[in-house]
């Protein structure tokens, strides 16, 4: 849908519902498609669902953007330390989806890459950035539907995220991102990069699992008391987030 049509649409915001899962996963598949040979197949849909569930399972707060004609526009998902998870059924659904994926050798290779390579590297980066001891929340997923670019959805989700975290007493939070994302958004917003792993500096990562040595990985930290991290977004701001 073109920018002119988007200008006449309106967006509302609400907590995520369990029945939103497949819609979020479908957008995830568009924003971060699988490699050639898997992209566009039912297996790719399952992998996107697996990854979405990976982020959904621990969350304690959510915000879904939706247009007035019912189109999913974006989402932020947060895990706050000590708060109850929103979806108790997510773990069982994650395991069921994983079983379907690994039944296909191509899917099993992707799961192995994630579970033996990408996710462990994320945990190593968390240790390097000391975020476990210095933050009270993690932004698990920040994603905007490409079809709503120009409507300010990314900025509104970001504003509401900061306000909600402050309201819940969170003093600082962190997030993972990588070079497949628009990570410059976080530099623009005044966050601090506290850990990074540049793929070109670590050729040994390719031995961890097939397809590993592809993206640079980063951790950003936000101090909510920092005056460089304002609540509001300038109305003239045109920065758009593809995903984080």
Structure tokens at 52: 């979405």
134-145: string of b/e by CB count within 10 Å (b at 16+)? ebbbbbbbbbbb
- Nearest Cα residue to 37 out of 116, 102, 109: 109
Please report which residue ranges of the chain form alpha helices under DSSP H.
Answer: 3-6, 21-31, 42-56, 90-102, 105-113, 119-129, 131-134, 153-167, 184-188
CATH number of 11-223: 3.40.630.30
Q: What's residue 213's pLDDT?
A: 56
- CA 244 to the chain's CA centroid: 5
The full DSSP string for 36-94 is TTTTTSHHHHHHHHHHHHHHHTT-SEEEEEEETTS-EEEEEEEEETTSPPS-TTHHHHH
Per-residue pLDDT of the chain (244 residues; tens, 9 = 90+): 454 466 567 999 999 999 999 999 999 999 999 988 999 999 999 999 999 999 999 999 999 999 999 999 999 999 999 999 999 999 999 999 999 999 999 999 999 989 988 899 899 999 999 999 999 999 999 999 999 988 999 999 999 999 999 999 999 999 999 988 888 899 999 999 999 998 888 887 766 656 555 788 999 999 998 756 665 434 334 333 444 4
- Note the pLDDT of residue 210: 60
d(CA 176, CA 91): 21
What is the Cα–Cα distance from 179 to 215, expressed in whole angstroms?
5
Q: What's residue 138's pLDDT?
A: 98
pLDDT of residue 1: 46
CB atoms within 10 A of CB 51: 20
CA distances from 20 to 14, 94, 132 (A): 11, 15, 29
What local confidence, expressed as pLDDT, does residue 91 receive? 98
Domain boundaries, the chain: 11-223
- Residues 210, 88: Cα–Cα separation, whole Å: 32
Q: In what order do the strands lie in the sheet with 172-178?
A: 11-14, 61-67, 72-80, 137-144, 172-178, 217-223, 192-197
How many angstroms separate the CA atoms of 239 and 49, rounded?
28
Quick one: pLDDT at residue 123? 94
Q: What are the backbone dihedrals phi and psi of residue 62, each rounded to the nearest 5 degrees, phi first? A: -145, 160
């Amino acid at each position: 849908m073109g920018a002119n049509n988007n200008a006449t649409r309106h967006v509302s915001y609400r907590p995520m519902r369990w029945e939103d899962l497949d819609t979020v996963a479908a957008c995830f598949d568009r924003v971060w498609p699988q490699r050639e040979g898997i992209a566009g197949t039912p297996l790719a849909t399952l992998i996107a669902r697996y990854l979405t569930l990976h982020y959904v399972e621990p969350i304690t707060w959510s915000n879904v953007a939706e247009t007035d004609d019912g189109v999913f526009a974006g989402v932020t998902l947060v895990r706050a330390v000590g708060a109850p998870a929103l979806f108790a059924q997510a773990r069982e659904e994650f395991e069921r989806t994983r079983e379907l994926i690994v039944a296909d050798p191509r899917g099993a290779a992707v799961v192995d890459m994630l579970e033996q390579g990408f996710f462990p590297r994320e945990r190593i980066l968390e240790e390097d950035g000391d975020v476990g001891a210095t933050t009270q929340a993690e932004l698990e997923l920040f994603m905007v539907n490409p079809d709503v670019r120009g409507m300010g959805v990314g900025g509104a989700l970001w504003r509401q995220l900061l306000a909600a975290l402050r309201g819940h007493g969170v003093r600082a939070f962190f997030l993972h991102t990588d070079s497949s994302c628009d990570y410059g958004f976080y530099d623009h917003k005044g966050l601090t990069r506290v850990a990074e792993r540049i793929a070109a500096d670590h050729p040994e990562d390719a031995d961890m699992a097939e397809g590993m040595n592809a993206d640079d990985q980063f951790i950003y930290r936000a101090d909510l008391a920092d005056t460089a991290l304002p609540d509001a977004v300038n109305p003239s701001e045109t920065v758009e987030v593809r995903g984080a």
